[in-house]
Chains A and B, each alone.
Chain A
Amino acid sequence: MNEARDRILVVDDEPQIGKVVRRALESRGFDVRVAPDGESALDQFRSWQPQLVISDLAMPNVDGLTLCTRIRKSSAVPIIVLSVKGEEKTKVEALDAGADDYVTKPFGMDELLARVRALLRRVEAAPPASSDEDFDSGDFQVRPSQHRILVRGQEVHLTPKEYDLLLFFIAHRDRVLTHKTILTAIWGPNSASQGEYLRVFVGQLRKKIEPNPNRPQYLKTEPWIGYRFQTGL
């Protein structure tokens, strides 16, 4: 992995924030461009083809939510949104619209860098989606042909739904998955409001895969938003 070549597009209408984020990312070897609004961000995105986008939510003209939607129409590039407290609704909408993660302002640079790295790593080590080949993802070994998943080398016995759910989490690890996204993917579009249902399944899954289900290390709750799966890579 050569981080120096990774291009990151930062979109924020506050010049100071853009300046600081650019400076911090550049010192880590990323190639960074800053766009002051969604409109110019879309132009930059098309011409420059960044590997990752970090975008503010509230911006004049084209806002962060619209930007996410537009980018997702043509690209699967990882998107991190920057939100402030009070924008929860828009944040979830952005995640539903395809953003991969969020960071709440004001944020520590370590946190932002960790999210950036995790997403870039995921893109580079993408599991063979819809393939029957075995693959490893951190503490998890997936054997799709046998419908088996090993956790830290140990076989776990999963019901078919639990298997689907865990596989979905592994395939979408290190990103925030909203309740709606998960429910729609596993139970179909008509179950998007069955939050309680999902909670029960996540609880069962935690009992089977977590060393301490009360303090989960893989399957983390994102309060009021959904879940984030960390494979321990």
Chain B
Amino acid sequence: MIERLKPYAFATLLADATIGILVLTRHYFDDTTAALVMVLAIMATALLWKSGPALWASVICVICFNYYFIVPYGTLNIDAPEDVVAFIAFAAISIIMGQLSARVEARALQAEARRVEIESLYDKLRLVTEEAAEAELLRRSEKLKSALLDAVTHDLRTPLTSIKAAVTTMISELPREDGYQLELLQVIDEESDRLNRFIQEMMDLARLESGGLDMRRSEISISEIVETALERAAPLLVNHEVDVDLDPALPHLTVDAVAFSQVLYSLLDNATKYSPPGSRIVVSACSQDSTMLLSVHDQGPGIPRDLREKVFEKFFRAQATGTRRAGFGLGLSIAKGIVEAHSGKIWVEDSAGGGTSVVVSIPIGPALEQTA
């Protein structure tokens, strides 16, 4: 309230001061000049404190003009008819000038505000454009990287295809008694498979790390994912018993089915590597709150606590129980990458009765929102 009355106080002060000076110095000029000076003071009030105080100053000036400068002086009466006209003219001019000045000032302020707004909008636009250009650049460089990866993979795979095709032809055409040659040719065959797996894993990893592994999500049942992974892993699982325990009430997942089945394949691959032949591997899935828990449990020696984080690091390899199929230590880190790309988690757990349980949890609900 006081803040709002301040401009009126200043306006009163300015008007009173002007009138005071005019009254004290009235012998040096005529009444018309006094009127002009008062209009000047009203305009100043309008510019400084806007229309309300200007109107107030106008009222003070009009009354004082009548009191001090219209005959008879010292009263609010007007004798001469021409003075009445002068008084009305003065009143009108002072009010109109005050209001017009205030409006001009308001317009000027508005224009300034608009300029500031436009400038800030322009800055924002420039920033957004720059960001978009950066994103475009990034997208192009990702595209380039991905194209480069494809080219490198293609160039590595093509000679591997010739090698593999040639060596398997030689193996199949080799006379049975030539065991020595066969052994060497089988080494070439197996190593070309190994190299091929390595190329694939390096590529998967590079894609994951550049964020370029397109997650092509769709709705899929966990049983289809499990079925596919088991199918693919069948050659690895010949020496193990596999139990599958899926909660039939599990809702569909919204995941990249191929990538997610690859996760399960890696876990199965690992379970067979680190558990004795003839032992049991259990694949189970259930829901807990809004997440799905998928676990692969084996009857191997288990993973010591201090290594449980490390197994997901690149190129980490534990001592395999068998002599077969040494991996590159990329499978689990790729699995972790894929799970995290689905906003999920993967970890190693103790399981009842010994052995290792690797558990994957992924959100059932939020995953849907992300794809939408």
Most chain A beta-carbon contacts within 10 A, residue among B165, B192, B227:
B165
A128 at the interface (CB under 8 A from B): no
Residues of A within 8 A of B257 (CB): 224
Question: Interface extent on B, as a size class?
Answer: 20 to 34
Contact in complex: A109, B169 (CB < 8 Å) = yes
Contact in complex: A14, B224 (CB < 8 Å) = no
Contact in complex: A21, B232 (CB < 8 Å) = no
Q: How far is the CB of A17 from chain B (nearest CB, A)?
A: 5
Residues of B within 8 A of A106 (CB): 157, 160-161, 163-165, 192-193, 196
Residues of A within 8 A of B162 (CB): 14, 16-17, 19-20
Known A224-B257, A224-B258; judge A84-B157 contact (CB<8 A): yes
Q: How far is the CB of B189 from chain A (nearest CB, A)?
A: 7
Residues of B within 8 A of A215 (CB): 234
In residues 91-119 of chain A, which contact B (Cβ within 8 Å)? Answer: 105-110, 112-113
Contact in complex: A17, B158 (CB < 8 Å) = yes
Most chain B beta-carbon contacts within 10 A, residue among A105, A106, A112:
A106
In residues 306-348 of chain B, which contact A (Cβ within 8 Å)? Answer: none
B284 at the interface (CB under 8 A from A): no
Contact in complex: A16, B189 (CB < 8 Å) = no
Residues of A within 8 A of B203 (CB): 86
Complex: A138 Cα to B159 Cα, angstroms: 39
Residues of B within 8 A of A196 (CB): 221
Residues of B within 8 A of A21 (CB): 165
Contact in complex: A20, B228 (CB < 8 Å) = no
Please give the number of chain A residues whose Cβ is less than 8 angstroms from any Cβ of chain B in the complex: 28
Q: Which listed residue (B157, B221, B228) contacts A223, Cβ 8 A?
A: B228
Which chain A residue lies CB-closest to B163? A106
Q: Which listed residue (A23, A84, A107) contacts B164, Cβ 8 A?
A: A107
In residues 127-183 of chain B, which contact A (Cβ within 8 Å)? Answer: 150, 153-154, 157-166, 168-169, 172-173
Known A107-B161, A110-B172; judge A86-B150 contact (CB<8 A): yes
Which chain A residue lies CB-closest to B227? A221
A27 at the interface (CB under 8 A from B): yes
Residues of B within 8 A of A58 (CB): 154
Known A196-B221, A199-B224, A221-B231; judge A107-B157 contact (CB<8 A): no
Complex: A221 Cα to B227 Cα, angstroms: 9
List 17 A–B pairs whose Cβ atoms lie within 8 Å, in order of A's numbering. Answer: A14-B158, A16-B159, A17-B161, A20-B166, A24-B169, A58-B154, A84-B153, A85-B200, A106-B160, A106-B165, A106-B196, A107-B164, A107-B165, A223-B228, A223-B231, A223-B232, A224-B258
Residues of A at the B interface (CB closer than 8 Å) are: 14, 16-17, 19-21, 23-24, 27, 58, 84-86, 88, 105-110, 112-113, 196, 199, 215, 221, 223-224
